[in-house]
Structure formats: C-alpha cells, structure tokens
Amino acid sequence: MSGLGGLNKSANGVVVGLVQLQLPVVATREQLAAQTQRICELVGKARRNQQTMDLVVFPEYSLHGLSMATNPEIMCSLDGPEVAAFRAACVEHRIWGCFSIMEANEGGNPYNSGLVIDDQGAIRLYYRKLHPWVPVEPWEPGNLGVPVCDGPNGSKLALIICHDGMFPEMAREAAYKGAEIILRTAGYTAPIRHAWKITNQANAFCNLAYTASVCMCGSDGTFDSMGEGMFCSFDGTVMVEGGGRPDEIITAELRPDLVREARTGWGVENNIYQL
C-alpha cells in the first residue's frame, strides 16, 4: 500500500518522489549551469505535483549525464554553485532533496558523490560511491563508508549509488546503521533491467527496509537510460513501479514506523538479525 502514491499521507508517513530525469548532454560549464537550473526547476515541479511530498530523489548522473567526462572544468565541489543552487531550491520549495554530483578530487580521479539536503538547506548525508562500475566508470572509489542520516518525519535514510546496490553488504551495512528507507540512484541502461529489479527487491526483503530506486531516463543520442523508478516494501514486494517516460515523478508513501515494528516483532524472516 502506497497511500495512492502519497496522496493520502498518514501521520507517520514519508512521501518520496523519484524523478526519471531526461538524460542530458553536459560537456561545458554552460551546459552544467543549464542542467543545474533544470534540476532546480524539477524540485519545484515535485512540490507543485504533490504538496504532501517530503523528499524528491534525482538519479545518479542527473547533473553530468553519461559521458563519463572527467574534465576539471565541469567537476563540482560541496561549496560550489551547483550544490548551492540545490540547497536554495530545497529551501524555496520546502522539500528534502537527493542529488548527484561528480566531485573534484585533487588527489586522483573525481568521486561519484550523492547528497541528501533537508528543507532548511543543510546537507544531511554526504556519500561517495564505493564501487565504480568497472571497467566503464573512471571514478575514484569512495572513502566515506555507508552513511545514514535522520530524514523527514522521524525516518532514517541511507543512499546507495547504482553498482553499490549490487553488493548485499552495502544495504546490510545501511540497515545495521538504522536505515529504514534505502535510496538507490543509478544511470543504468536496458541490459541491467532484470538485475535492477531483483536487487532492489532483495535489498528490501533481506534487510526489512523500504527501497526507493530510480535511474536516468530517455536518450542523449548515444545512450538510452531506462527510468523505471520503483518502490519496494520491507517484505520485498513491489509497491509502485514506473516506466520509461522522461521527467515523470513516481511517488509513494513509505511507513518507517512499520519497519521498526517489523524489526522488533517479526519472528519468521526477520533477516536483518537472524544470521
């Protein structure tokens, strides 16, 4: 049950929106600025789309596209204009946001980083993808572990980027740290469709956690990303599933209080504890 996609929000609910963002081409500073503005506009769309929404989630590569370019001119930093714009958008529209940046790294290749920003503009979660998609991705392996943060309406959030979600240990670490909602952002294309679905479900079932997962969407003229936002309940069932329509926002109400109840009271299949 998703509360009709979050339209009927309960007292303990957290309404999440997954943006199946149109895959961009970003190769210059000007294109980076334009894509930053586009994402901020979609933060506003999310708020207008659903006044009950607590958190809007953008996919991996939403800012930089799938070119894998490491040009220093288009790399980002936490104190740069792109992150400042995201923070301002969250404040303006009174909503939490999850964003993707390719982060400059003076000591090596850029990091593939994710941020969760609250509705006051504070960065609540900062994470660097641990496992680049070898041999395709050029990113430096992350060094910040698997962080968990307090989220909206008393929830606990974790973020796992793309290929990191293929490793059961990542979701398990997030759950052990208390995550009740595990966000997963990706830029995957069609060959990964089956693995995407089964790992999102398995990460939920094996850890008694909700998973909220979304890919980039559409074509950039070279690559075709698949969209397919999906919410899985803590019993592994698919609650809501999107398709391949670019810029569609897939929504659901999640109930962290029911996760806590299951982790405390379930005997059969309480897999986070029965080792």
Write out the two tokens for 18.
Answer: 């997954």
Residues 148 and 157 sit within 8 Å (Cβ to Cβ): yes
In a domain, 75, yes or no: yes
Which member of 76, 90, 149, 162 is catalytic? 162
In a domain, 273, yes or no: no
Counting the structural domains of the chain, the total is 1
SS3 for 175-243 is: HHCCCCEEEEEECCEHHHHHHHHHHHHHHHHHHCCEEEEEECEEECCCCEEECCCEEECCCCCEEEECC
Main-chain phi, psi angles of 186, to 5 degrees: -155, 165
Kindly report the CATH number assigned to the domain that includes residue 229: 3.60.110.10
* This prediction's pTM: 0.97
Which member of 82, 129, 173, 228 is catalytic? 129
In a domain, 275, yes or no: no
129 given a catalytic annotation: yes
In a domain, 270, yes or no: no
Main-chain phi, psi angles of 210, to 5 degrees: -75, 145
Beta bridge partners of 159: 183
177 given a catalytic annotation: no
Spatial CB neighbours of 2, under 8 Å, sequence gap ≥ 6: 231, 239, 240, 251, 252, 253
pLDDT tens by residue, the chain, 275 residues: 678 888 999 999 999 999 999 999 999 999 999 999 999 999 999 999 999 999 999 999 999 999 999 999 999 999 999 999 999 999 999 999 999 999 999 989 999 999 999 999 999 999 999 999 999 999 999 999 999 999 999 999 999 999 999 999 999 999 999 999 999 999 999 999 999 999 999 999 999 999 999 999 999 999 999 999 999 999 999 999 999 999 999 999 999 999 999 999 998 999 887 75
Residues 150 and 124 sit within 8 Å (Cβ to Cβ): yes
In a domain, 141, yes or no: yes
Look at residue 3 in the predicted model and tell me its pLDDT: 80
In a domain, 144, yes or no: yes
In the chain, which residue ranges form alpha helices assigned H by DSSP?
3-6, 29-49, 81-93, 168-176, 193-207, 256-265
Residue 56's domain comprises 3-265
| Locus of tokens 């479900």 | 201
In a domain, 272, yes or no: no
What is the greatest pairwise CA distance in the chain?
55
In a domain, 257, yes or no: yes
